[in-house]
């Protein structure tokens, strides 16, 4: 009897044309879940204390169970007094159907973590936004799958989309899940990719000194193997990170505690309990941004309803692969005074705000000025 019904079912599946229901039934993997913790201080190789409770989005990707750490800051919240204890009441239940809550997602750069957005998140929360801040896979308090993961900007955007759908509701009701995406540095490159992949779910796009405003390899940067990049990654430490950030992020400025905290956070991951997996992962991330340009697709960013804002510190000179390029190639790269204007012309309905005296991380260097410009545009 059972066999009969099963074969009948099988025959009817074969006869019917593929339907969305059938397709999703075939590629079933465990549903993603959100784990509210609490978690150990050293979470997946980072022991930095985050300003709000850390949660884990557990999902399957490329056949692996992965964990993406994130903070979910409700509108009008101040950093909790005991950051490692998730003391705030869980608002899981009410968030799902709150269509009118304005939601912002903050995407960190390669040398930063979700925690680096603390001040921006406080400002946005006070302005009435719910703020969701993930650590991308391979970074900070998220899983570090190392050699066993195909890193692409598309994959990271997809992971982020999965997190948002789990938190905000299904993709069926697209208006319920549209968010403002703000990305810095590598997070800006990822934000542009995200807007290209999910135009109807992007309310506004904000790029802060994004990388990828030019195609470095097309300008002469030679390919460097992942193995060679991994050697350099393994050698990263406090001194090397600080020297790099002083020259690129805060050129000509006296070193301050506000800069130092993020260097120590990152150096501790390079030296931490997942050091080798982190070095391997970061070598793949360098390969990802070098080989997957997004600049050619800027004209295709279907103008989000609220438009795009490009915030650029002009003293920035970031360019991937500059260190291993010939001097004449180096001279061509990282001219943000030119690159910002080019990008603002290429991206439909893009507003450009330039900070002539700031470097790669204007939100850290001059928070008040940066947040003033951001809120002016978001609320304007």
Our CB check for ligand NAG shows the closer of 39 and 70 to be: 39
Instruction: Give me the residue whose beta carbon is nearest to ligand NAG.
Output: 307
Shortest spacing between CB 255 and ligand NAG, in angstroms: 20
Residue 224 and residue 103: Cα distance in Å, rounded?
A: 39
Tell how strand 350-355 and strand 308-313 pair up.
parallel
Shortest spacing between CB 71 and ligand NAG, in angstroms: 15
Our CB check for ligand NAG shows the closer of 83 and 307 to be: 307
Shortest spacing between CB 139 and ligand NAG, in angstroms: 12
Q: What is the dihedral of CA 313, 223, 230, 291, to 10 degrees?
A: 60
Burial class (CB in 10 A: 0-12, 13-18, 19+), 263: buried
- Asked whether 72 and 148 are in contact (CB, 8 A), the reply is no
Residue 103 and residue 293: Cα distance in Å, rounded?
A: 28
318: Cβ–Cβ under 8 A, 6 or more apart, which residues?
A: 185, 209, 211, 248, 334, 336, 360
Our CB check for ligand NAG shows the closer of 197 and 303 to be: 303
- Select from 319, 263, 259 the least CA-distant residue to 293: 319
27: Cβ–Cβ under 8 A, 6 or more apart, which residues?
A: none
- Select from 148, 169, 168, 125 the least CA-distant residue to 375: 125
Shortest spacing between CB 271 and ligand NAG, in angstroms: 4
Q: Pinpoint the alpha helices (H) of 106-225.
A: 118-126, 153-168, 186-197
278: Cβ–Cβ under 8 A, 6 or more apart, which residues?
A: 45, 138, 144, 233, 269, 270, 272
What is the phi/psi pair of residue 296, to 5°? -70, -20
- Asked whether 156 and 190 are in contact (CB, 8 A), the reply is yes
Shortest spacing between CB 336 and ligand NAG, in angstroms: 21
23: Cβ–Cβ under 8 A, 6 or more apart, which residues?
A: none
Give the residues lining the site for ligand NAG (CB under 6 A): 39-40, 43-44, 47, 67, 143, 268, 271-272, 303, 306-307, 349, 351
Shortest spacing between CB 2 and ligand NAG, in angstroms: 38
Shortest spacing between CB 141 and ligand NAG, in angstroms: 8
Our CB check for ligand NAG shows the closer of 307 and 367 to be: 307
Our CB check for ligand NAG shows the closer of 236 and 365 to be: 236
Shortest spacing between CB 169 and ligand NAG, in angstroms: 25
What SS3 class is residue 103?
A: strand
Shortest spacing between CB 40 and ligand NAG, in angstroms: 6
Tell how strand 102-107 and strand 64-73 pair up.
unpaired
- Asked whether 135 and 69 are in contact (CB, 8 A), the reply is yes
Our CB check for ligand NAG shows the closer of 271 and 338 to be: 271
349: Cβ–Cβ under 8 A, 6 or more apart, which residues?
A: 303, 307, 308
Our CB check for ligand NAG shows the closer of 221 and 285 to be: 285
Shortest spacing between CB 174 and ligand NAG, in angstroms: 18
Our CB check for ligand NAG shows the closer of 6 and 271 to be: 271
Our CB check for ligand NAG shows the closer of 170 and 372 to be: 372
Our CB check for ligand NAG shows the closer of 67 and 354 to be: 67
């Amino acid at each position: 009897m059972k066999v009969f019904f099963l074969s009948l079912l099988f025959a009817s599946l074969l006869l019917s044309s593929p339907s969305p229901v059938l397709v999703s039934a075939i590629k079933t993997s465990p549903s993603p879940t959100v784990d509210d913790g609490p978690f150990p201080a050293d979470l997946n190789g980072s022991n930095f204390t985050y300003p709000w409770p850390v949660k884990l989005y557990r999902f399957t990707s490329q056949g692996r169970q992965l964990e993406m750490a994130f903070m979910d800051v409700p509108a009008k919240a101040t950093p909790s007094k005991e950051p490692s204890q998730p003391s705030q009441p869980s608002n899981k239940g009410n968030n799902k159907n709150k269509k009118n809550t304005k939601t912002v997602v903050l995407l960190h750069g390669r040398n930063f973590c979700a925690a680096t957005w603390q001040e921006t998140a406080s400002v946005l929360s006070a302005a009435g936004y719910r703020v969701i801040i993930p650590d991308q896979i391979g970074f900070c308090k998220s899983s570090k799958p190392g050699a066993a993961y195909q890193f692409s900007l598309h994959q990271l955007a997809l992971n982020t989309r999965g997190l948002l759908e789990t938190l905000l509701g299904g993709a069926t009701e697209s208006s319920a899940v549209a968010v403002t995406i703000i990305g810095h540095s590598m997070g800006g490159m990822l934000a542009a990719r995200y807007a290209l992949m999910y135009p109807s779910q992007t309310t506004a796009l904000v790029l802060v000194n994004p990388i990828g405003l030019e195609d470095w390899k097309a300008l002469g940067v030679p390919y460097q193997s992942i193995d060679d990049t991994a050697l350099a990654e393994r050698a990263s430490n406090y001194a090397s990170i600080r020297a790099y950030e002083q020259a690129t992020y805060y050129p000509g400025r006296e070193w301050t505690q506000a800069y130092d905290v993020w260097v120590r956070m990152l150096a501790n991951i390079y030296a931490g309990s997942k050091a080798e997996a982190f070095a391997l992962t970061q070598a793949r991330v360098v390969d990802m941004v070098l080989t997957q340009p997004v600049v050619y697709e800027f004209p295709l960013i279907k103008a989000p309803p609220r438009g795009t804002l490009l915030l650029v510190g002009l003293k920035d000179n970031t360019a991937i692969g500059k260190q291993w390029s010939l001097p004449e190639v180096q001279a061509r790269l990282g001219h943000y005074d030119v690159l910002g204007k080019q990008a603002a012309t290429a991206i439909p309905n893009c507003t450009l705000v330039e900070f002539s005296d700031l470097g790669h991380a204007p939100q850290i260097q001059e928070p008040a000025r940066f947040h003033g410009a951001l809120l002016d545009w978001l609320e304007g």
